[in-house]
Amino acid sequence: MNVNLAPSPTSSLKPAAQNVSALKQVFQTIDADSCPNSYNFHMHTVYSDGRLQPEELLSQAIAIGLKGLAITDHHSTNGYAQAQIWLDNWKFNHPDNSATPSLWTGVEINAELLNNEVHILGYGFEPQHPSLQPYLRGKSTEGTYGYSASRVIEAIHEAGGLAVLAHPCRYRSTADKLIPEAAHFGIDGVETYYAYTNPNPWKPSPKQTDLVKELVENYGLLGTCGTDSHGLSILVRV
């Protein structure tokens, strides 16, 4: 399925990294083979708990041939900001290169859902939006209201972004309980394709993928994928 990444008239005033319409189209095409060689929407840099500099991450993305990606540092968009500067310079110096990946804003935020601490991924949002500032200070937000999944999802939406429940089979409560509750609070999607046993080469875990995919379809949610990389390669988790 071909995806048109050109901005729509309503999104043309926003940077490409905040083009939620294009991002939704991409998410609708994600399958078990999308990650890690075509798309990767869960990666960390030295600006949270990763080992890669943003420019190193982008260099790998270009070498691999990624079509689209997001840097999702914990409670920070500083890695994304540095990556965007580097990518803009790279595009300027390679004007005839058609392999430039699409980079969207991203972040990973801790939140409470059914008495579990879960991680919610935000994409395509405006980094400077006031609603997100409490969550972009490099540490988990304190306080019952701000820490709740419902408020985190709301804040991401207020900033114009999409909210996605990360690795839903890694928590104390099971995915079949967490995903319906997240859907109730307006979550846009779920990280459907995830490698829970950290295999090398990366491959989504079959049993968990089947369960999550069914729930995503039942609740009309978007499905995403990502390696959750923290090490020196974006092709694996560590």
The 10s digit of each residue's pLDDT in 87-108 is 999 999 988 877 899 999 999 9
Q: Does position 1 have pLDDT exceeding 50, yes or no? A: no
Confirm whether 26 is domain-assigned.
no
Helix (H) or strand (E) holding 117: strand 116-123
Report pLDDT for 99: 80
Confirm whether 5 is domain-assigned.
no
| Nearest by Cα to 210 from 181, 182, 235, 176 | 176
Confirm whether 56 is domain-assigned.
yes
Confirm whether 115 is domain-assigned.
yes
Report pLDDT for 12: 52
Confirm whether 19 is domain-assigned.
no
CATH code of the domain in which 71 resides: 3.20.20.140
Instruction: Choose between 139 and 46: higher pLDDT.
Output: 46
129-150 pLDDT, tens digit per residue, is 999 999 999 988 878 889 999 9
Q: Position of tokens 């920070």?
A: 76
In this structure, the dihedral spanned by the alpha carbons of residues 211, 66, 186 and 152, taken in order and rounded to 10 degrees, is 110
207-224 pLDDT, tens digit per residue, is 999 999 999 999 999 999
Confirm whether 121 is domain-assigned.
yes
Q: Does position 85 have pLDDT exceeding 50, yes or no? A: yes
**Adjacent-strand bridge partners of 43:** 229
Q: Position of tokens 């008495």?
A: 115
Name the percent of the chain lying above pLDDT 70: 95
pTM assigned to the model: 0.94
Q: Which domain holds residue 55?
A: 32-225
Confirm whether 147 is domain-assigned.
yes
Confirm whether 196 is domain-assigned.
yes
What are the tokens at 155? 């804040």
Name the percent of the chain lying above pLDDT 90: 89
Report the number of distinct structural domains present in the chain. Answer: 1
